[in-house]
Amino acid sequence: MGIERTAEVRELRLRVPQADLESLYQRLRAFRDGGAYIAAGLDRIVPLAYADDLLDYWVGGYDWRAHERRLSAYSHYSTEISGQFVHFLHLRSVRPDARPVLLTHAWPSGVMDVLDAAGRLEATGNYHLVIPSIAWTALAGPPGGSPSGRSAAGWDDLMSRLGYDEYQVGDDRHGIDATPAYTEVTEAKAEQRGLDAAELAEVRWFNESLTAFNEGRQVSALVLSTALLAWNAQLVNLDVDRDALLTGLTLAWFASQLPTE
């Protein structure tokens, strides 16, 4: 357990060239100065003053390199699941009896959200931690129209690919024994994921009643990508930690350009 099937998993080198950063900043300046924000109607979602301030900070005050260094302290990998590029962190324990844990972050967000929790868990030596970037956030490619309910099956495939046939699931809010993200979960896997009958019923209700939001993101991916900055700011509210938000957005922007080894 814990031995990667290397033909399917590639190590990722997290280093964005300075020229690429400058190109991103030029795009951001042109977007703001060219009036595209108002033309797209995004000021009705997030106030123009807030967006301008955030863009100015992104270009002139935000230190990507500091966050890149922190992220680079961990082992990053990529793989392909159902045709989709997937990024994840894999923190292995040296203990042979360590328990595998799939640790997920909230949406919209990124793996930065769970690094503190992951560090505490890693320090115990009791866990092998796998931390994927959830689709539509940092380093996760577009799902190509796949229903959001397939996410759980995709993470199960990832864990199996890493050699973990049994594992626990946790999130950044509730800890190791938490109910996983609302995705399709079968009864056969319910016990493995820590779900009791009531929690499984809640998952089914969510999948049947409240997934239109996710489907809309998938069908209208290109439209929504135009509003990426406002979209994220709207969902995480205007009091969000700007560095955390911009780290997730910067990672998402450079996903397809990062080299693998």
Q: How far is CA 229 from the centre of its chain?
A: 15
Containing domain of residue 52, as a range? 9-257
The more confidently predicted of residues 12 and 195 is: 12
In a domain, 179, yes or no: yes
In a domain, 17, yes or no: yes
CATH of the domain at 57: 3.40.50.1820
pLDDT level of residue 148 (50, 70, 90 thresholds): very low
In a domain, 3, yes or no: no
In a domain, 186, yes or no: yes
The more confidently predicted of residues 186 and 244 is: 244
Report pLDDT digits (tens) over 26-53: 988 887 776 766 666 766 766 777 778 8
Could you give the CA distance from residue 138 to residue 152 in angstroms, rounded to a whole number?
A: 18
pTM: 0.68
In a domain, 34, yes or no: yes
Q: Alpha carbon of 84 to those of 149, 154, 197, 255: distances in Å?
A: 15, 10, 31, 12
Sign (positive or negative) of CA dihedral 126, 7, 133, 246: positive
Q: Which of 135-139, 143-147, 219-223, 254-258 has the highest mean pLDDT?
A: 254-258
In a domain, 115, yes or no: yes
Report pLDDT digits (tens) over 176-228: 333 344 344 444 455 555 656 776 666 555 455 444 444 444 444 433 444 55
In a domain, 4, yes or no: no
User: How many domains is the chain built from?
Assistant: 1
In a domain, 2, yes or no: no
